[in-house]
């Protein structure tokens, strides 16, 4: 379920004009080629940049953007104004352009050549004002974009472009994201529900309902030989508890879990789905609540949400695409219980479904009874998440818009083992501390389910919200409750007006 980033391109378009003569255009083109080559060869960018030449007129700009829209390999465009590029020329092209935009505010030379600088040099190297003219029209047109400032050879600049590239690929991935939902949302739950039509228009998510009865035949037709082969994989990758091993009294539950995993994978493949949700209310014909299957499919790159939570399932998928190949895992997660000690922390877990990519050690495969669901004892991977920094994110439906909420968190090692809680878990402190972090999250209307990642930072979600054109609020080291409440109130007005103007 991972994506091959090499299937995608980002296009680089340089703005100029013919005022300075043919020599200047040739120089602009040469510098642009050198820059794009340098950016690609630095080895910090996950997606290849393709230089598409200079544009010197409204017609050339419109044509470049039309081609970018139409090319399925192109996930976004980087623009840069080497010289002055009168921005009315950009209006029609920008009106048509539908993909992520990054404005790279850089210049060819790193330093001012004090001894030799003359007016010809100034006319050729004037990004400092050409890019402001371009920036003005993008802002005037209310077009969302990322602005990255710095010299094109600097690693910090590469890092910021790399973040945006990963988000652009995830955005492309979400444009046709089918989410399979077994059953509905958990009855009466508000926060996991929402407007699926608006979600498809705004975020690309397509949510399809299937009765679990449609999955059952896929599970039933799994052969014993297929189960044997997958159990052998479990034995290699995990430490099996005594009762879960071959000969153990609950080994048959592990075999049923393997059957579910194979059946579920083949069902999702048959539907072309990238994410899915389950529900403990929707288990008719199933042996046990699929725990192990959900954990392992998440580790493969599928998005997952429990209790019908399709928004979180989609966000988990999107964050997994952004994080692909980076160190540190990404998982569905749920806030459970508080630990009021020091800055305060939250025990994160779920009944079963936490992704093993965040484990601090080899997971244990265990079988235990589960009170909810009324089925056989489910198999699950049990582990503790590694200590480290991460980001938790959620999308909520505010009725007139989607709001993306993020919180920077510090995962720590629990004080003690949890011998009577045989599930995967993480203990984290939300920044700046539990009192402010949890209060801000609640004021923002945040869910109890999140998508959590060690691999990503808030910048990824910021870029995602900018591309999607949805509200984004961040809870971090600098958050104060009074400032955060003001931001929510200002946003309320902004989005009401914004909606009215659309």
- For binding to Mn ion (CB under 5 A), which residues are involved? 306-307, 334
How are beta strands 146-149 and 101-105 bridged, if at all?
parallel
Sign of CA dihedral 491, 496, 497, 498: positive
Strand partners, 366: 380
Nearer to Mn ion, 307 or 462 (CB): 307
Q: What is the distance, to the nearest Å, from the Cα of residue 29 to the centroid of all Cα atoms in its chain?
A: 35
Q: Which is nearer to Mn ion, 334 or 366 (CB)?
A: 334
Is 234 strand, coil or helix?
helix
332/383 with CB nearer Mn ion: 332
Pair 366, 234: CB distance under 8 Å: no
Q: How far is CA 49 from the centre of its chain?
A: 21
Beta bridge partners of 404: 395, 472
**In the complex, what is the shortest distance from the CB of residue 481 to Mn ion, in angstroms, rounded to a whole number?**
27
Taking the chain, what is the end-to-end CA distance rounded to the nearest angstrom? 36
Least distance between Mn ion and beta carbon 479 (Å): 25
If the CB atoms of residues 8 and 302 are measured against Mn ion, the closer one turns out to be 302
User: How far apart are alpha carbons 47 and 502 in whole angstroms?
Assistant: 33
Nearer to Mn ion, 81 or 294 (CB): 294
> Nearest distance from residue 425's CB to Mn ion, in Å?
13
- Rounded to 10 deg, the angle between the 155-174 and 458-468 helix axes is 50
Least distance (Å) between residue 462 CB and Mn ion: 26
**Phi, psi at residue 260, to the nearest 5°?**
-60, -45
- Quick one: 62 or 348, whose CB is closer to Mn ion? 348
Q: Least distance from C-beta 309 to Mn ion, angstroms? A: 7
Residue 277, token pair as written in the block: 């949700």
| Residue 307 Cβ vs Mn ion, minimum distance, rounded to whole Å | 5
> What is the spatial order of strands in the sheet that 178-182 belongs to?
206-210, 178-182, 275-277, 303-305
Whether 168 and 49 have beta carbons less than 8 Å apart is answered as: no
Min CB(283)–Mn ion separation in Å: 15
Q: How many CA atoms lie within 13 A of 216 on its CB side?
A: 11
Q: Which residue's CB is nearer to Mn ion, number 306 or number 426?
A: 306
- Return the SS3 of 43: coil
- Residue 352: CB minimum distance to Mn ion, A: 10
Q: Which residues pair with 451 in a beta bridge?
A: 332, 393
Joined together, the tokens standing for residue 150 give 């710095």
Closest to Mn ion by CB, 93 vs 308, is 308
- Alpha-carbon span 467 to 449, nearest angstrom: 23
Q: How far is the CB of 350 from Mn ion (least distance, A)?
A: 6
For Mn ion, the closer of residues 333 and 381 by Cβ is 333
Q: Closest approach of Cβ 306 to Mn ion, in Å?
A: 4
> What one-character-per-residue DSSP string does 137-177 give?
HHHHTT---EEEES-TT-HHHHHHHHHHHHHHHHHHHHTT-
**How far, in Å, CA of 380 to CA of 354, rounded?**
9
The nearer residue to Mn ion, 306 or 475, going by C-beta atoms, is 306
Distance CA 447, CA 307 (A): 13
Q: Give the shortest CB-74-to-Mn ion separation in angstroms.
A: 38
Shortest Å, Cβ 233 to Mn ion: 27
- The residue at minimum Cβ distance from Mn ion is 306
Residue closer to Mn ion (CB basis): 24 or 306: 306
306, 353 contact by CB (below 8 A): yes
Q: Which is nearer to Mn ion, 127 or 279 (CB)?
A: 279
Closest contact distance (angstroms) between CB of 349 and Mn ion is 10
Residue 165 vs 275, nearer CB to Mn ion: 275
Distances (CA, A) of 434 to 61, 131, 332, 427, 443: 50, 42, 20, 12, 14
C-alpha neighbours within 13 Å on the C-beta side of residue 275 = 33
Question: φ, ψ for residue 21 (rounded to 5)?
Answer: 90, 165
């Amino acid at each position: 379920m991972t994506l091959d980033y090499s299937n995608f391109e980002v296009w680089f378009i340089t703005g100029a004009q013919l005022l300075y003569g043919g020599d200047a255009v040739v120089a602009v083109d040469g510098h642009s080629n050198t820059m794009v080559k340098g950016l690609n060869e630095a080895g910090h960018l996950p997606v290849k940049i393709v230089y598409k030449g200079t544009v010197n007129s409204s017609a050339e700009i419109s044509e470049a953007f039309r081609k970018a829209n139409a090319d399925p390999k192109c996930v976004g465009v980087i623009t840069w104004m080497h010289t002055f590029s009168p921005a009315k020329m950009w209006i029609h092209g920008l009106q048509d352009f539908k993909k992520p935009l990054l404005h790279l505010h850089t210049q060819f030379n790193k330093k001012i050549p004090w001894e030799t600088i003359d007016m010809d040099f100034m006319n050729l190297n004037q990004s400092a004002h050409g890019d402001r003219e371009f920036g003005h029209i993008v802002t005037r047109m209310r077009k969302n974009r990322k602005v990255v400032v710095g010299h094109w050879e600097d690693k910090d600049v590469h890092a910021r472009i790399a973040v945006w590239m990963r988000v652009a690929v995830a955005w492309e991935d979400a444009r046709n994201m089918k989410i399979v939902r077994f059953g509905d949302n958990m009855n009466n739950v508000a926060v996991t529900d929402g407007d699926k039509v608006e979600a498809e228009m705004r975020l690309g998510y397509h949510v399809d309902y299937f009765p679990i009865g449609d999955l059952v035949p896929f599970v039933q037709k799994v052969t014993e030989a297929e189960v044997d082969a997958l159990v052998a994989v479990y034995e290699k990758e995990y430490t099996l508890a005594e009762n879960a091993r071959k000969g153990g009294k609950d080994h048959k539950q592990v075999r049923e879990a393997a059957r579910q995993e194979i059946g579920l994978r083949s069902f999702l493949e048959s539907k072309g789905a990238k994410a899915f949700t389950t529900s403990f209310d929707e288990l008719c014909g199933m042996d046990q609540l699929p725990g192990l299957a959900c954990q392992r499919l998440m580790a493969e790159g599928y998005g997952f949400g429990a209790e019908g939570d399709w928004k979180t399932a989609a966000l988990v998928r999107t964050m997994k695409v952004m994080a692909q190949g980076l160190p540190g895992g990404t998982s569905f997660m749920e806030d459970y219980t508080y630990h009021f000690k020091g800055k305060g922390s939250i025990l994160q877990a779920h009944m079963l479904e936490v992704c093993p990519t965040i484990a601090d050690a080899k997971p244990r495969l265990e079988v235990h009874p589960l009170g909810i669901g009324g089925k056989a004892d489910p198999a699950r991977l049990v582990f503790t998440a590694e200590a480290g920094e991460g980001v938790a994110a959620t999308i909520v439906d505010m009725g007139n818009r989607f709001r993306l909420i993020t919180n920077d968190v510090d995962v720590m090692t629990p004080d003690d083992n949890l011998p009577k809680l045989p599930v995967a878990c993480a203990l984290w402190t939300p920044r700046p501390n539990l009192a402010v972090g949890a209060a801000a999250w609640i004021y923002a209307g945040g869910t109890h389910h999140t998508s959590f990642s060690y691999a990503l930072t808030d910048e990824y979600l910021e870029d995602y919200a900018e591309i999607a054109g949805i509200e984004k609020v961040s809870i971090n080291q600098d958050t104060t409750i009074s400032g955060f409440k003001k931001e929510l109130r200002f946003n309320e007005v902004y989005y009401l007006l914004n909606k009215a103007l659309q």
